[in-house]
Amino acid sequence: MSKESPCIAVCMIDPGSGLCYGCGRTLPEIASWHRLESAERQAVMATLTRRMLDAGLKPSGGGKAG
């Protein structure tokens, strides 16, 4: 996947946290992703690893910008 998306094609939502197991985004974030500016995407991506850890999920590395 591109640097502009944290998607790793593991598209399942954790019912407890509402986060995608693969990327850590919420359904509203996933749905609106194509409408976000690059800076907005990067800002969300910068939070993904921490939010997954906080929810008790194993980060896949998809949330790392770079």
Range(s) of the domain holding residue 9: 1-59
**Residue 2 banded pLDDT, cuts 50, 70, 90:** low
Could you report the per-residue pLDDT of 33-63, keeping only the tens digit for each? 999 999 999 999 999 999 999 999 999 865 4
Answer whether residue 47 is part of any domain. yes
Query: How far apart are the C-alpha atoms of 66 and 45, rounded to whole Å?
Result: 10
Instruction: Give the ranges where 1-66 is alpha helix by DSSP (H).
Output: 27-32, 38-45, 48-54
* Domains of the chain: total: 1
Share of the chain above pLDDT 90, in %: 83
**Tokens standing for 31?**
């749905």
User: Is residue 16 included in any domain, yes or no?
Assistant: yes
